[in-house]
């Protein structure tokens, strides 16, 4: 029986977003036994995020695109043998003796109710997605400042607006989508403030020409913004937030090509909320703990280095979606399916699968969308001048309240040279979020006090916090998720 002590699953898929879902159903359709784990209580990941059923939203699916694709995946999942292990927080994956992997998760209500679960599998598909990159600025800790992705998630899952008059700022294609969602949900969006110039896309005409769908998507957002009279300010940034109890206004400054604020261009924009984000950062905690190699991306993050069939540098570990470089939902689905074919080809000894017409189509589509994603990433790469809008008292690490001045002192006076030693000397990144929020900014300030956002891979052997009681009980960990396991099934709200 798959998942039992004697027989592992063929494939464990970590993450039930677009990439993981597509991979899981395709692998199952190829006859593999599949465990699908996700921390959330619902499938769909970040892109296909839905209101919890208990909220009773009248039009729960209103803010969505690509619903048809998602419905298709959901139907295929329901038709499969897969019982998704939802509410399972995977904290580590380790190689076991023999040819299998052990996925360690914690599940159950917070605190004393949590228990360890171990899923064994012969192959892994890491589909852990991405999180939003934040670059700090004076006032970014004032209530009313939310992540752009966070604002989108709030809309999707709870249909809540972060404010009535919301400035959207930062960099990246997500900003337009967030602004049009906010406007459609009834918020006034006085401005979308984008640090890059969209003209930079023109430098990659081939990638653009090959992706008409993406252009159509941009046009849809563009026309929605026009309809809602949203102003797009490119080559600009929010360089300060005003208000103490709550956001009252923001300062918008023009930037030069290196993202340095141009003196004399400050403009005050009244608002009661700010949704801000500087692109997405692949979530690689599990992958880097396994030793998977990474590559620098054009927007100064790191993504997994993958071969033509989505396998990482560690044999037996595949990846799909944003972990291989941020590229959106359609790319994630394509990669998930391709990875599933590659896993089936390996485990079932059917190499022809990866040369099939379907696989070739998927590879071509993947390559085309990857090229576009790289062009977008290059256009939105943070310029080295962004640190100019910081003041010495700007908080960088919110958990431990470490300021820009504290980090600069550690670098100039006490011999810190990288994010790790800055952390040791200042506690930046040692708090609850473990540097997931401030990591990019700390690394940048550590590098030379003002350079471009450097590439680094953080090591976080615990991908999520784990109660000591759960760790202590590891030898009693349940081999959860067998197809006949009622405990697993009860965690599967198929009607969600």
Partner 1 sequence: MVGAACAYYAGLAGLSVTVVDRGAVAGGTTGAGEGNLLVSDKEPGPELELALLSARLWRELAKSLPPRIEYETKGGLVVASGPAGMAALRDFAAGQERAGVEAHEITPDRLTDLEPHLAPDLAGGFHYPQDAQVQPALAAAHLLRASDAQVRLGAEVTSLLAGPDGRVTGVRTATGVLHAPHVVNAAGVWGGELARRAGSDLPVLPRRGFVLVTEPLPRVVRHKVYAADYVADVANGSAALQTSAVVEGTAAGPVLIGASRERVGFDRGLSTEVLRRLAAQATALFPVLAGVRAIRTYAGFRPYLPDHLPAIGPDPHVPGLLHACGHEGAGIGLAPATGLLVAQLLTGEQPHMDIGPFHPRRFEASRGTRSGPHLS
**Contacts with partner 1, residue ranges (CB under 8 A):** 92, 94, 102, 104, 111-112, 289, 291, 400, 410, 413-418, 420-421, 424-425, 427, 430-432, 434, 459-462, 465-469, 471-472, 474-475
- Nearest-angstrom CA–CA distance, 411 and 409: 5
Nearest to partner 1 of 93, 381 (CB atom): 93
- Between CA 286 and CA 27, with CA 490 as vertex, the angle to 5 degrees is 50
Question: Number of C-alpha atoms within 13 angstroms, CB side, residue 161?
Answer: 19
Question: Number of C-alpha atoms within 13 angstroms, CB side, residue 233?
Answer: 21
- Nearest-angstrom CA–CA distance, 141 and 149: 16
Nearest to partner 1 of 89, 366 (CB atom): 89
With a CB cutoff of 8 Å and minimum separation 6, the contacts of 58 are none
Nearest to partner 1 of 222, 469 (CB atom): 469
| Neighbour tally for 83: CB within 10 Å | 23
Q: Which two tokens stand for residue 391?
A: 């003041």
- Burial profile 415-440: b = 16 or more Cβ within 10 angstroms, e = fewer: ebeebbebbebbebbebeebbbbbbb
Q: How far is the CB of 461 from partner 1 (least distance, A)?
A: 4
- Nearest-angstrom CA–CA distance, 61 and 313: 38
Q: How far is the CB of 287 from partner 1 (least distance, A)?
A: 13
Nearest to partner 1 of 92, 128 (CB atom): 92
Q: How far is the CB of 439 from partner 1 (least distance, A)?
A: 13
Q: How far is the CB of 284 from partner 1 (least distance, A)?
A: 15
Q: How far is the CB of 406 from partner 1 (least distance, A)?
A: 11
Q: How far is the CB of 492 from partner 1 (least distance, A)?
A: 26
Nearest to partner 1 of 71, 96 (CB atom): 96
Nearest to partner 1 of 41, 94 (CB atom): 94
Helices 329-347 and 18-29: crossing angle in degrees, nearest 10, is 30
Q: How far is the CB of 208 from partner 1 (least distance, A)?
A: 41
- Nearest-angstrom CA–CA distance, 466 and 389: 37
> What DSSP letter does each residue of 67-117 carry, written as one string?
HHHHHHHHHHHHHSS---EET-EEEEEEEPSSS-EEEEEEESSSGGG-EEE
- Nearest-angstrom CA–CA distance, 301 and 494: 36
Q: How far is the CB of 401 from partner 1 (least distance, A)?
A: 11
- Nearest-angstrom CA–CA distance, 13 and 125: 5
Nearest to partner 1 of 80, 421 (CB atom): 421
Nearest to partner 1 of 87, 162 (CB atom): 87
Q: How far is the CB of 484 from partner 1 (least distance, A)?
A: 26
Nearest to partner 1 of 302, 366 (CB atom): 302
């Amino acid at each position: 029986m798959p998942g039992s002590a004697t027989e592992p699953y063929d494939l464990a898929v970590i993450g039930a977003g677009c990439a993981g879902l597509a991979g899981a159903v395709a692998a199952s359709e190829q006859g593999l036994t599949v465990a699908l784990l996700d921390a959330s209580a619902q499938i769909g990941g970040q892109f296909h995020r839905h209101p919890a059923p208990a909220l009773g939203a009248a039009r729960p699916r209103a803010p969505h695109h690509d619903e048809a694709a998602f419905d298709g995946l959901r139907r295929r999942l329901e038709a499969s043998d897969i019982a998704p292990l939802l509410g399972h927080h995977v904290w580590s994956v380790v190689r076991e003796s023999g040819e299998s992997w052990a996925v360690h998760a914690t599940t159950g209500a917070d605190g004393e109710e949590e228990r360890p679960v171990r899923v064994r599998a012969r192959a892994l598909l890491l589909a852990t997605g991405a999180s939003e990159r934040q670059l700090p600025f004076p006032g970014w800790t004032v209530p009313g400042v939310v992540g752009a992705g966070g604002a989108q998630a709030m809309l999707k899952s709870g249909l809540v607006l972060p404010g009535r008059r919301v400035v959207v700022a930062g960099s990246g294609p997500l900003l337009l989508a967030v602004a049009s969602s906010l406007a459609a949900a009834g918020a006034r969006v006085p401005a979308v403030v984008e640090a890059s110039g969209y003209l930079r896309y023109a430098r990659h005409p081939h990638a653009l020409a090959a992706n008409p769908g993406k252009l159509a998507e941009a046009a849809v957002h563009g026309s929605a913004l026009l309809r809602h009279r949203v102003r797009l300010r490119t080559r600009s940034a929010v360089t300060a937030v005003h208000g103490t109890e709550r956001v009252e206004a923001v300062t918008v400054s023009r930037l030069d090509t290196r993202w340095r604020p141009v003196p004399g261009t400050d403009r005050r924009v009244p608002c009661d909320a700010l949704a801000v984000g500087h692109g997405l950062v692949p979530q690689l905690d599990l992958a880097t703990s396994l030793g998977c190699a990474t590559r620098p991306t054009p927007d100064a993050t790191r993504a997994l280095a993958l071969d033509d069939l989505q396998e990482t540098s560690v044999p037996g570990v595949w990846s799909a979606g944003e972990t291989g470089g941020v590229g959106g939902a359609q790319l994630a689905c394509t990669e998930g399916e391709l990875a599933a074919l590659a896993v089936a080809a390996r485990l079932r000894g059917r190499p022809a699968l990866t040369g099939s017409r379907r696989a070739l189509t998927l590879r071509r589509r993947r390559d085309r969308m990857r090229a576009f994603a790289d062009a977008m990433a290059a256009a939105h790469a943070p310029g080295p001048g962004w640190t100019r809008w910081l003041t010495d008292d700007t908080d960088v690490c919110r958990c431990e309240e470490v300021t820009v001045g504290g980090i600069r002192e550690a670098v100039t006076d006490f011999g810190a040279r990288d994010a790790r030693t800055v952390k040791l000397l200042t506690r930046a990144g040692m708090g609850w979020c473990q540097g997931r929020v401030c990591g990019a900014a700390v690394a940048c300030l550590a590098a030379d006090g003002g350079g471009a956002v450097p590439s680094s891979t953080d090591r976080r052997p615990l991908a999520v916090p784990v109660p000591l009681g759960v760790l202590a009980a590891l030898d009693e960990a349940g081999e959860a998720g067998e197809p006949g396991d009622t405990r697993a099934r009860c965690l599967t709200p198929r009607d969600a």
